[in-house]
Every structure is written in structure tokens, then in C-alpha cells.
Chain A
């Protein structure tokens, strides 16, 4: 006798070899709300992680899956007036594995300034691993070209008699969900200004999300302009930065101190002569930094560990380069015509690049095209910047409610669109993280009755 379940099994190629029990699981899962998070940046990842932890089926849609949770605009998180407690609270709100990914990739300044210096590559790799480990969270490669609602009537299979929302990718795929979170960063009408002129896109080498922006505008969303200055990257210690004075240990606290992690052996090789003292300072600072315990947070910054469930425990001799590297710190400061100029932040373990902060007292490192004087300040006859500083101008969605949900006059019923992170006006990474968490909580509230 053939049951209807058998028929369903056969009718869907996806389920051809599944047992009836599997089908029940599948059907049960289908009752759960599904949310698509567009964008796998800092905010999108935080949002997706929280959503999935709450039992929502979450798909993270991003065009470059090797650039998940990669802080594009600089390798550090700074706290505002909130100081360390702001950092702690933000990290605390993240699911533990994602929090650990962040903290394991972080170092803190020697003078205790409330900031986390982040190894961008490490946090990207570890966060993707953390997210892949959360039940119900899936990654999907795709670039969103359109977003639209599908009315309940138009849907053949609809378990809840509600409208759904569809996003269409440039691959020609249409993905359906109960809600969509747009965490697209500065991709709406984004363009970057360097000294030489404009390039389009919100991130170097990536296209802006024109199709998605147009769809939002058509729906009645309101946008406003925003602007972000991104510092340049210097070639770093190894290459030698002319005009840059090494930090003198006695200069100390007023100057923000910087952590530079390098391959110890190679660092010694490339740090010949007068740079030796830098290394010595680095080592002494290292010990102190490692004593800073971020309020006993999970994971902590004490060690790089590979406690993730995927990494084979006895993977000798620990080929993951993080294990072979030691944390070294170097502190740099420089002056230019009597002004104290902020110095640089390491861009990660695998590189010698130093990110030049555009914040701090006496900031002379202008990064926008408008300032000829500041541009190229560190560029010398010998060495060009590894990455030029630039200004990103883009639009952010302004018609949002407090939960981050898009307010539309024409569509107040479900499905809903939320916006999180920089696209919702967040100005830095910490606010992006918080925004992602807040949106996830708001979304979950809406689907509370359908959650396990």
C-alpha cells in the first residue's frame, strides 16, 4: 500500500532516498520560520548566528563566501563612551561560538584603551567555522538582484497562509523566506573616492547592490547618505616605513599602542639593526597584554586555540598557521611637523600591512580625496601605500523602526524586511554587531509562536 507520504517522497527528487522519519523531520522543519540574511559581513553574521540559535532556519546569502565576517574597513573595534563594558556587553550578546571567534582573533592595547585589535583573516575564518557549526544555519553563495513579496494566494504550498518574501540572485535563483534581513553594508549606491577619483561599490573590488536598492526604493523605503573614511595600509614593519619613528617606551600612555603579530622567526630576520629594540619592546608588551583578561570572557585572548569541532585534535604539528605564530607586539608612533599623528594597527598575522588609523588626536592622515595635504602623507618616494585610504559614500536605509524593521506605508503586514549593520546606519563594528543581534531578536519576536 502506498501512503501519501510515499508519494510525496517520490514526487520530490530532493527526498528520493529519505525515510518516512526523515520526512517528518523535514516537514517539522518546514513549519519553522525561514529567514534569509543578505550579506555575510560583521552584522549579517551576528544576526544570522542569533537567529539560528533561536531555532529559525537561516540562510546567509553572500557573493564571496571566502570573505565571511571580514572587517573590510579596518582591523579593530573601538568602544565609544561606553568603554570596556560596551565591548563586553556586545560580545556577551553574541552566541558563544561567534564570540569566541572574535575574541580569539583579538588583542588589546597595552594602555588599556577600550579596543580590540582584530586579525581580520583569523576572525573571518573562525567566524565562518563557528557559524557553520550552528544548527539550522546555512551559507549560500549568491548576489541579490531583487527582493519582492509573494502573496499567500500566489503560493502553491503555504503552511501558514501568509505572504512570503522572495529574493532573486543574479544566478537566476529565487529563494523564499518568511522574512529577510538586509545586512549589505555600504553597498547601496556605494562609491569610493580616492585621490584619483571615483570607483563604484561599497567595498574594494565588489559591485554595489543596485538591483536590491532599486527594489527597496520601489517599495517605498527611504534612504539617506552616509560617509565613511577608511585608513590606508602601510607596507608594515618588514618593509620599513620611512618617516616613521619607533615608539620610545618612555613615551608611553598618551599614545595609543598597537599590537603587531608577526611570524616570530621571520620577524627576527627582517628586524635587523635598529629595529631590534622594537622587538624587545614588543616582547615586554606582549607579556602585559596577555595578562589582560577580558573579564573572563569565553575563550579569552590568552591563547589561540583550535577547540572548534572541525579541527582534528591531533593534527600535528598544528599546520594552522595561527598555532605556529606567536603574538608579538610593536608600538609605533610618528610625528609630522610637530603634530602627533596616530600610528598604525596590524592588519593580521598573515601580513605585514599596518592599518593607519583615521582616529585620534592630531589626526593628520586624511583619507579623502578632498585633502591633498593628507593624502600620501605616509607614501614616500620609496614605498607606496599597500592600500590607499579612501572615503566610502553610500546610502543607508533611514525609514526603520527601533527594531530595525523597514517601515513601509504600503506594507505593514508580514512579510517584513529588516535592515541591520551599516546599511541601517551603524557607524562602526560594535554598533553593527549590536544591530545584528537586535534585529535577530526583533525577528524572533515576530515568529515567537512558531519557534520551538
Chain B
């Protein structure tokens, strides 16, 4: 072997949230893995919000955890405040959100990476990706070192030709103070990938000692212990406070008067920005009628006074930022520590990828994270772990790992990305999932841990904890089905007091629990003393499951049936070399789109923009016929029912 060359199974480029998960997954699956990053002091940084989770995103983090990822566990180590969101709403939209000490988060991630066998951490700039016969061969670093591997995961975040913009100023940087990757983009274009520009932004940070806490609303964490990871035992921890204030017409006046200086207006920023995390300038353009917008003031950690102003994202000139902040109640004397800024960067339109996050142009090349046009640490981690797993499987010549839309938010995320593409940085919402009542944050481990276990990412011990919970839940559910609540005057009075109707006749406890007014504790009161004794020992996490399963039983059953019905067509594979052009009955547009995108399954085809249900029927008939010819198996076309 020539000096300066090393052999790996998987090389990961990037040390952010996607890169860390990808590297850990591949290494834990036994692959010899290298993680290359521009600076080994900058691992798992949180350059924007010092928080993990939230509605939609919290589900992703739980799913990453259930597959054996690190984000959830690491948040449990580093959080300074944690709370359950939407507790008054249905279980599908409940989610965890945590504020973290970002330095601590980085440190712990580095501890974990450093102690993972099979994983080498290498500081360097990936300069060129070398490909021959449409297959990834090696990556060469700017310092001349060459890393050969079976698979490469690119998780470069905002570093491809990154440019920071504040007002009319702009300079090359991946994050403020860090030089971007200048060589890699050209190399990616040379191997046949297409790059486009996106833009994102971050609010200013202020000195927490210069804010008037009295004039803002305190935002506390939940007092009961909570944890992201299924396998973290939650312990009570003293939490830090966040504060809520609102912009006022005075704030808006400042913005309006200086809007001509906004990079959005002046054209300094050309890339498309996130619709769902808009800057204050954009909010004013888009919602001129709103008199106020919320501003959350969040701590950046326990060792610093710096605070993050969620809701005041802006890339206006610094003096305007100062005025905007100070026109906001409670922040009149706030001192800026870091100005807000926008970052413009190259992203890879994700329709160039398959559902395994592998490039269609280059075998063995996987892409994850913000590079794929997403925003958020959770979306990044979710893609990272999938890319890492698939890179490892690719390196071992094993079948890829794909999560369906009916299995996980991760499945929804990736299917959306690779099928529909993105026209702005993609952010996860519960509304993106068809089966969100099944894809809850509370059952992520039950849904996915066995898959993680099969991949070798979840230990036997961890798996047994999940199985134990499932077993106990089933046990107690059966018990609930068997226990009868007798109709009596006392019971009826009790039920009426809760605002529900009396029992007509004796009912099973499960049925009574279905009433939204009746909590599990209420139910215990209604039981006979011996039943109560048997039920009362149910652990809290089991009680949560019982309540959800009883209350939403009908919906869950319906969604499960729907999934079962759709799965056959959804997962019907389409040969990757299928020539769409000779197929009769397909519209020209459908042929064009399908040819370009090359969906892997019929389900994916049905979501391609420009492909109609009629096109799908044609495809279905064709696939069925060719399937029958090939396999010579008798099957019934009517068994396939169209989805969507």
C-alpha cells in the first residue's frame, strides 16, 4: 500500500448531527469507519437553536433513539430544560422538546465518538470524491491523504460554498468564523451531481444579564422527570428557565423602516429560505396584519450568559438588529453578543437519491442532513442514521434498510425528500404523516427497536426492556378487557361528576377508559377493590399506553387496516431499469417524471408530482403482468388496491 492511503468500509464526511449518527451507526454495525471533519474541536455543534425536539422533530429523535442512534441519549445527558408539548391535545401531536447546554452536548458526543470501536476521527477537508464506473472509490483530503472505502456518506451541512450574509456584507464561511469547503462542490459536480442554493438564518444572541426578566413570561420545564431515550432512566434535574416576550408594533416599525436593507430585499441572499422558520423580516412581509410575534428567550447553556432569541431571526445589518431587539419588551437594554446572520449554501436536490439515501448517479455514495435540503438537527440525525446504516449494508453487500411511511416519521421524511424534492429547507411536521396516530413518539421503541436490534444497533438487553414493556402492556390491556365496571348509582354519580354519561349496563374497563373524560386513575376508583389492586401496579409508561390504546382503539384499528391494505401496492417494487417510454396509457408527463426520478416502488410513484392515479393503474397492470411472467406465480391483480 502506498503511503498516505487507508482502507475503510465506510467514510463519513462531516461531524454535525447527520455525520455523527452516520459514523456511529456504521461503526457499531462493525464496519471500519472514518469520520472526516474540518475541525475536530467542532463536533455536533448547535449553531442555531440550542434545543432538540418539538412537534414532529421530537418524534424523529425518538425514532433515531429506537434504532440505536445517539441524539436522544445525548440530549438526556445535556439538557437544561425538558417538557412535553401539546399535553392537552391528542397523542399523535404530543412531543418532547429539550433545551440543551450546547457545549455539553458537543462534549458528550465527542466522548461517545472517541470511545466507539472501529471509528477513526480524522481532521481534514475532503477535497475530491473519486468515482469510476459509476461507483465510489475513494475520497482525497486537501492534505493529500486518500481514504478508500466501499461507501461514502456526505453530511456537509452548510459548508459547501457556504456564505454568511449580514445586511449588505457577505463573506465565505460554513458557520461564522469557520472557512467553508471550497473544493468539494466542484468535485461533486464533476461526478455528476447537481447542486443548488439554499439559505437559512439564525437570530442574534444576547447577554442574559441585560434582559428584564420581570417583563417576560417565565417558561418552565416539566417537573416530572422525562427523557428522550427509551433506555434512559429519567431523573429529576434542576432546570433552567426560558422566557417569553412578544414583538410589538414598535419592533415591526423598526423592521419596516429598514426592510430595504434586508438581504432578502436587496438580493444579497439568492437562495430560498425556510418558510416555517422565517426571519422577522420575512414574517413582516408575509404577515403584515399580525401585530405581534412571540419571542422565546432561551439559555445557551449553564456556563454562559448568552441567550438565544427564538423568533427574531434576522440578517439585517447589525445596528438594525440592535434596534429590533431593544424595541421588544424586556429586551430594551439587551446587549448583542452575536449578531444574527443568514447562511447561503449549496444543497443537493434530494430527488437525485434513492430511498436508501444513496445517489442514483454514483453507487456507494450516500448523502444526509442539511446537504439534502432539510433544516433542523433532528431531520439531520434521522437521515444520518439511515445513511450510515445503508452505507454499512452496502459495504457488506447486504440488502438495504428502508423505513416505510407507515413505519416511521423517518420513512415519511426520506420518501418526501427523494420523491417530491424540496423547494425550501424541509422541516418535519406531524401533518406530513398519513398515519400519525400510529407513528407516535411514545411508541417509537415498540415500532422500531426490533429493526435496530436486527441491525446490531440495539443490544439484547435493550431489546428485552422494550419487549418487557410490550408484554406488560398487553397483560394489563387484557386485564382491562376482562374487568367489568358495574353499573350502579355510585358509579353513575361519579361518571356524571366527570361530565360523562352514566353506564347503561356493566361494561369492560377498557370500554369505560375509552371515554375521554375518564382517566386511568378515575377508572381505578370505579373498580372493585381487588381489581384495583391488580391494576394499580401498572407502571406509568404502561398506563400511558393503556390510555392511548383504549381511547384511540377505533382509529388505530382503522389506520392499521388501511396500512395493511395499502402495503402490497405501496411496496410493489419497480425494476430500476424499467423503460417507461414504450408503456401505453402513461401520459407523456408521467413518463418523463418517472424516467427522471426512477421510483423504487409503486407507492413512491404515486407520490411523484405529475403522476396521476390513472398512470398508476397502468403501471400496476404492467408490473403485475411482468411480475407474473417473471416469477410465473399466479396472483390476482385485484388483490392490489390502489393507495392514495
Contacts and interface: CB of A to CB of B under 8 A. Distances in A.
Contacts of B230: none
B144 A141 contact: no
B236 A64 contact: no
Interface in B150-196: 166-169, 171, 176-179
A204 B111 contact: no
A47 B205 CA distance: 24
Contacts of B179: 201, 205-207
A388 B124 contact: yes
Contacts of A173: 318-319, 339
Interface in A1-56: 13-18
Contact of A233 (B102, B123, B141, B317): B123
B39 interface: yes
A193 to B, nearest CB: 10
Contact of A65 (B101, B104, B178, B338): B338
Given A16-B332, A321-B107, A125 B303 contact: yes
A315 B176 contact: no
Interface stretch (B112-120, B390-398, B504-512): B112-120
A128 B304 contact: yes
B111 A350 contact: yes
B312 interface: no
B121 A353 contact: yes
A388 B114 contact: no
A297 interface: no
Interface in B24-48: 34, 38-42, 45
A386 B169 CA distance: 35
B144 A172 contact: no
B171 A233 contact: no
Contacts of B77: 319, 321
Contacts of B78: 319
Most buried by A among B1, B38, B101, B124: B124
B335 interface: yes
Contacts of B317: 172
Nearest to A372: B3
A321 B111 contact: yes
Contacts of B235: 316-317
A13 B304 contact: no
Contacts of A312: 238, 240, 302
Contact of B117 (A138, A270, A383): A270
B6 A384 contact: yes
A228 to B, nearest CB: 17
A386 B333 contact: no
Interface in B76-134: 77-78, 101-104, 106-108, 110-111, 114-115, 117, 119-124
Nearest to A382: B6
Interface in B433-465: none
B305 interface: yes
Interface string A69-108: 0100000000000000000000000000000000000000
A141 B6 contact: no
B568 interface: no
A108 B6 CA distance: 36
A118 B21 CA distance: 29
A317 B333 CA distance: 35
Interface residues of A, number: 76
B207 interface: yes
B114 to A, nearest CB: 4
A352 B115 contact: yes
A314 B123 CA distance: 38
B337 A141 contact: yes
B565 interface: no
B108 A235 contact: no
Nearest to A142: B339
Given A65-B338, A315-B237, A132 B304 contact: yes
Contacts of B120: 235, 239, 383-384, 386
Given A128-B304, A386-B122, A141 B41 contact: no
Given A17-B332, A141-B338, A350 B107 contact: yes
Interface hub of A70, A350, A387 (most chain B Cβ within 10 A): A350
B145 interface: yes
A62 B338 CA distance: 10
Contact of B302 (A171, A195, A311): A311
A67 interface: yes
B111 A266 contact: yes
A249 to B, nearest CB: 25
B143 A320 contact: no
Contacts of A333: none
A199 interface: yes
A229 to B, nearest CB: 16
B237 A316 contact: yes
B108 A310 contact: no
Sort A-B residue pairs by CB-CB distance and give the 4 closest, nearest first: A196-B144, A64-B177, A63-B177, A141-B338
11 contacts: A16-B332, A125-B103, A172-B166, A173-B319, A206-B177, A206-B178, A312-B302, A315-B237, A315-B302, A321-B107, A352-B115
Given A66-B45, A196-B141, A316-B236, 6 more contacts: A70-B41, A132-B305, A171-B166, A270-B117, A320-B104, A321-B108
